[in-house]
Amino acid sequence: MTTKLFGEPVHRREDARLVAGNGRYLDDLGADALAVAFVRSPHAHARITGIDVDDAIDVEGLVAIYTWEDLPEGVREPLPLLIPHPALTHGRTAYCLAKDVVRHVGEPIVMVVAADRYIAEDVCERIQVSYEFLKPVVGLENAVEGPNLVHDDVPGNIGAHMVQEVAHRDGRATREVIAAAPHTLEFRLDIERSACMPMEGRGVYARWDADDRSLRVYSSTQTSTSVRMAVAAKLGLPLPKVEVIAPDVGGGFGVKIVHPWPEEILVPWAARLLNREVKWTEDRREHFISSAHERAQVQHVKVGFDDEGRVLGLDVEILHDHGAYTPYGIIVPIITSTQLLGPYKIGSYRVEFFSVYTNTVQVTPYRGAGRPQGVFCMERTMDKIAQYLGKDRTDVRAANFIQPDEFPYDQQMIFQDGRPLIYDSGDYPESLRKLKDLIGWDDFPAMQAEARKEGRRLGIGVGCYVEGTGVGPYEGGHVQVTSDGRVHVSTGLTSQGQGHETVFAQIAATELGVPIEKVSVVTGDTRRFGYAVGTFASRAAVMSGNAIALACRKVKEKALRIAADALEADPADLEITDGMVHVVGAPSASIPLATVAVLSNPLRYAFDEEAKRATQFATGGSMDRPPVAEGQEPGLEGKDYYSPVRSTFASGMHAAIVETDPDTAEIKILRYAVVHDCGKMINPMLVEGQIHGGVAQGVGGALYEKMAYDEYGQLLNASFMDFLMPYVTEIPKIETDHLETPSPLNPLGIKGAGEAGVIPVSAVIAGAVEDAEKIVVDKMPISPSDLYALRDSSRTSGAVSLLRNTQ
Amino acid sequence: MHEVTLIVNGVPRQARVPARRLLSDFLRHDLGLTGTHVGCEHGVCGACTVLLDGQPVRACLTFAVSVTGQEVTTVEGLAKDGELSPVQRAFAECHGLQCGFCTPGFLTTVTAFLRENPAPADDEAIEAVAGNLCRCTGYQNIVKSVHRAAELMAEEGP
């Protein structure tokens, strides 16, 4: 079939628009809209004692100033806690505008609407807010130990506490197993904060149509359907009177799945109140201090293992910093806890986490969403076991792998979707074999020794992960073939650069047998598809891809039935090639899909030549049957949903060779290799692009990025000048190889790929630096200064720091 | 308010703006050329890069009033007679963009670079884009795009 495009590196259909400067991102819309700016708290923890706007009200171009007092019922209540969980006993969310107390620098207090952003910021500067200072809580251990509270009614600053345990198969508890194990190790790991940092920040633009009593909202979001429901509920509008559209979105990486943001409620509310178009575009500093961060955890690990390095018992205690509020629940530490297990069979496992409030920006998922921390923990553990036993690090991993004949493999835990953590498929030994080949693992010791002779320090690291992707509950797809032969595909979830217009068109073209040029795809527009969950958790291709395939199959079945009538053939003998329905093996007995679309809709009125064929005196057929048969609908279209029983589990393994400078402690990645398994690939070019981008973010997290909060809760590096995101000069060439173990859980056999690249990078780099320096690396990111200090401290402590010697 | 007159993408344009209006905002909001994007507003990310008399500048660090009488090329001006430029085509062909937000700044930067260095070595291609941030691609395909654009330009001639 010439139209089979599934699996091909098809060039992106988005690009002609985007490279020409014709993208339409949030701030490109609403040229005449009023602009919004916010007065945000400069203090991490304070009680608001007064707001004085006297100096501000005379600024020319000012339209409105709002504080919490001005907000009506619905808008003045705390924002929703999106994902409640029984363990989240003390969940707290913010107000759209602060009421009484501010709990992090950047919390919005006053909303200003003005003719343009310059004027709105002028007004903000003239508004005086007075504060009574409260003691800020900064740093995980300070939060747990200290007497100061982020929320008065949350004792010990503990928002959630959760313990999960998978006992040994002989019934013994994990701690018992570890106590009795031949070898044990105990250590602490630290991971710093980072953040998504999409190049386009958040933004909202709203138009109220006073004649129609309806609201249209554009938001730079990862979930337009959920924003729509939240806006309708908060503003008390009937759902059909609210439409939400995600236009071109300049990156998301997780932060834009949070909703409704205060601005997503306030901007539409003001637009309706003022009966004017209103727009807010986040600036970079706002994004640093007013959106969300992730990653920060402290982990205490105990592990018991045998002579082969098999893990008999693993006991992990996690302190997770969730910042000032918990709108996204405890999804991140739950993912850390469960995905920590990776591709391994762990004899017994106990994981306990405390999710902790601090006076810092809230923590919600960032690409990887808790997995990088879990993988850091497990892979550091594997490296330490290997070090202790004097074994090759890959041998220890291999000794613990789940084997290919053991799928489905039940880890006996509950995953982030509330469903069992059962791995569906994979081949971990083969992935490791490919990775070792790709990086030249077995040849490395010779290379390292050779470099040593020249005074160069090289090290190699490895990291393995399993990633639950394609979480439910569902996505849908709608496919319509119109009488011009065009195929219109829509799905509710949104796009932030993944190339959905391309991959979904590939799926539709392949399923329907039409040229891809005939297919158009719309995502994230509630006018076209109202039911959806959103784009996160590497789920879009799995969820909407399968839903669209299923919808196409419905359309195809109907097309073949109608064509069979017209061609006087059996539908089973028909197929569609290049947009023509024809008898298999007899291409001359054919009818264009466009004509089938015409015939599918019995007409009274002809609007063009083609349409005449479907009018009432033109069609033949039985006079005993209604024109639209019972159970049928007019038109050649279909809708279907894909709702998986549980997630599908992608996997991968990375390795890196680094060089550390003996004098400056600079760390350079010489090679980076990735073996990746996301099941059947729809478009290998785009999968590789996802991996490249993920690894780059991982490198940022491993070597450069952290949120530098001082003791007062001030974020000292809230700009691109100071928060070090990697440029091209920091990212190594990434070498990739693929394995395709199809998922048995969905019709297309696919698994998600979006987050994979970022997940194991910190673990890999830590292992490689450790190998180069022979110094234990338990804290990431690691800067040259950190490494320099680590060298100093390990020298002065007299320990060569090889774990074996410290036992 | 100040009168600003300049040539944008070959077309004379004029607007009255306050002295503090940034060139990025002037292009986007006063002239409606929204292809130039703003990623950081302090000159680090390079998304707002435009060509001023052929040389790349950060539009977010330039006042509109300071460029009066000069010639500005934005991403909208790279295509000629409705056909995408070699640099634009190379980025599309090599998957050199994902979300596309930073892309206009890369395209203008690379366009100016290849005029001066039409056959760059790998380290030169890397150096050329080393002042622009991209959060999606990991840069590998961007560097590939620079080389591909050089190839296309060589094939197609001036």
Q: What is the pLDDT of residues A4-28, one digit of tens each?
A: 799 999 999 999 999 999 999 999 9
Residue of A nearest to B18 (CA): A118
Residue of A nearest to B80 (CA): A20
Nearest by CB to B97, which of A15, A725, A728?
A15
Domain identity same for A623 and A658: no
- In angstroms, the CA A245 to CA A257 distance is 14
Inter-residue contact A267 to A279 (CB < 8 Å)? yes
Q: What is the pLDDT of residues B44-83, one digit of tens each?
A: 999 999 999 999 999 999 999 999 999 999 999 999 999 9
Radius of gyration of chain B from Cα atoms? 15
Judged by CB atoms closer than 8 Å, whether chains meet at B84 and A16 is answered as: yes
Domain identity same for A768 and A664: yes
Structural domain span for residue B137: 86-156
Judged by CB atoms closer than 8 Å, whether chains meet at A23 and B101 is answered as: yes
Question: How far A723 CA sits from the closest chain B CA (Å)?
Answer: 11
Question: How far B69 CA sits from the closest chain A CA (Å)?
Answer: 24
Q: Show which of A247, A281, A315 is a domain's final residue.
A: A281
Residue of B nearest to A696 (CA): B138
CA atoms within 13 A on the CB side of B121: 2
Burial status of residue B7 (CB atoms within 10 A of its CB: 0-12, 13-18, 19 or more): middle
- In angstroms, the CA A441 to CA A444 distance is 5
Nearest by CB to B98, which of A20, A25, A693?
A693
Q: Show which of A642, A669, A698 is a domain's final residue.
A: A642
Q: Choosing among A8, A17, A18, which should be mutated to test the B contact, i.e. which has the most B CBs within 10 A?
A: A18
Identify the pLDDT of residue B102.
Answer: 98
Residues A763, A767, A772: CA angle, nearest 5 degrees? 150
Q: What is the CATH number for A125?
A: 3.90.1170.50
Domain identity same for A621 and A666: no
Residue of A nearest to B41 (CA): A284
Identify the pLDDT of residue A794.
Answer: 85
Q: What is the pLDDT of residues A508-526, one digit of tens each?
A: 999 999 999 999 999 999 9
Nearest by CB to A199, which of B79, B89, B99?
B99
Residues A739, A743, A745: CA angle, nearest 5 degrees? 175
Q: What is the CATH number for B10?
A: 3.10.20.30
What total number of domains does chain B contain? 2
Domain identity same for A403 and A528: no
pLDDT by position in tens, chain B (length 158): 999 999 999 999 999 999 999 999 999 999 999 999 999 999 999 999 999 999 999 999 999 999 999 999 999 999 999 999 999 999 999 999 999 999 999 999 999 999 999 999 999 999 999 999 999 999 999 999 999 999 999 999 86
Give percent of chain A above pLDDT 90.
Answer: 92
Read off the pLDDT band of A761 (50, 70, 90): very high
Nearest by CB to B74, which of A21, A27, A31?
A21
Inter-residue contact A293 to A320 (CB < 8 Å)? no
Q: Choosing among A728, A731, A758, which should be mutated to test the B contact, i.e. which has the most B CBs within 10 A?
A: A728
- In angstroms, the CA A599 to CA A619 distance is 8
Write the single-letter amino acid at A665: A
Inter-residue contact A333 to A320 (CB < 8 Å)? yes
Domain identity same for B90 and B152: yes
Identify the pLDDT of residue A586.
Answer: 82
Q: Which residues contact A798 (CB under 8 A, 6 or more apart)?
A: none
What total number of domains does chain A contain? 3
Judged by CB atoms closer than 8 Å, whether chains meet at B40 and A697 is answered as: no
**Average pLDDT for chain A:** 95
Identify the pLDDT of residue A3.
Answer: 55
pLDDT at A803 over 50: no
Q: Which residues contact B41 (CB under 8 A, 6 or more apart)?
A: A283, A284, B24, B60
Judged by CB atoms closer than 8 Å, whether chains meet at A31 and B32 is answered as: yes
Q: Show which of B56, B77, B98 is a domain's final residue.
A: B77
pLDDT at A807 over 70: no
Q: Where are the alpha helices (DSSP H) in A341-443?
A: 371-389, 393-400, 428-439
Q: In the structure encoding, which two tokens stand for residue A255, read together? A: 């932060």
Q: In the structure encoding, which two tokens stand for residue A499, read together? A: 């190339």
Q: What is the mean pLDDT of residues A303-315?
A: 98
Contacting residues of B for A693, CB less than 8 Å apart: 98, 135-138
Q: What is the dihedral of CA B7, B8, B11, B13, to 10 degrees?
A: -70
Q: What is the mean pLDDT of residues A554-574?
A: 94
Inter-residue contact B129 to B145 (CB < 8 Å)? no
Contacting residues of A for B93, CB less than 8 Å apart: 11
A227-258: buried (b, 16+ CB within 10 Å) or exposed (e) per residue? bbbbbbebbebeeeebbbbbbbbbbbbbbbbb
Identify the pLDDT of residue B158.
Answer: 67
Residues A704, A709, A281: CA angle, nearest 5 degrees? 80
Contacting residues of B for A694, CB less than 8 Å apart: 138
Judged by CB atoms closer than 8 Å, whether chains meet at A19 and B45 is answered as: no
Judged by CB atoms closer than 8 Å, whether chains meet at A499 and B98 is answered as: yes
pLDDT at A439 over 80: yes
Does A615 reside within a domain? yes
| CA A715, A717, A719, A725 torsion-angle sign | negative
Contacting residues of A for B98, CB less than 8 Å apart: 251, 497-499, 689, 693
Structural domain span for residue A605: 472-642
Read off the pLDDT band of A332 (50, 70, 90): very high
Q: What is the mean pLDDT of residues A299-327?
A: 98
pLDDT at A152 over 90: yes
Inter-residue contact A352 to A377 (CB < 8 Å)? no
Identify the pLDDT of residue A604.
Answer: 82
Distances (CA, A) of A179 to A166, A312, A389: 16, 10, 18
Q: What is the pLDDT of residues A602-654, one digit of tens each?
A: 888 888 887 777 777 776 667 888 888 888 899 999 999 999 999 999 999 99
Judged by CB atoms closer than 8 Å, whether chains meet at A19 and B107 is answered as: yes
Domain identity same for A665 and A578: no
Domain identity same for B49 and B17: yes
Question: How far B51 CA sits from the closest chain A CA (Å)?
Answer: 14
Q: What is the mean pLDDT of residues A312-336?
A: 97
Identify the pLDDT of residue A800.
Answer: 45
Q: Show which of B77, B103, B130 is a domain's final residue.
A: B77
Q: Where are the alpha helices (DSSP H) in A568-615?
A: 593-599
Q: What is the mean pLDDT of residues A203-227?
A: 98
Inter-residue contact A753 to A535 (CB < 8 Å)? no
- In angstroms, the CA B66 to CA B52 distance is 11
Identify the pLDDT of residue A606.
Answer: 83
Identify the pLDDT of residue A714.
Answer: 98
Domain identity same for A436 and A504: no
pLDDT at A804 over 70: no
Contacting residues of B for A719, CB less than 8 Å apart: 40, 42, 44
Domain identity same for B54 and B92: no
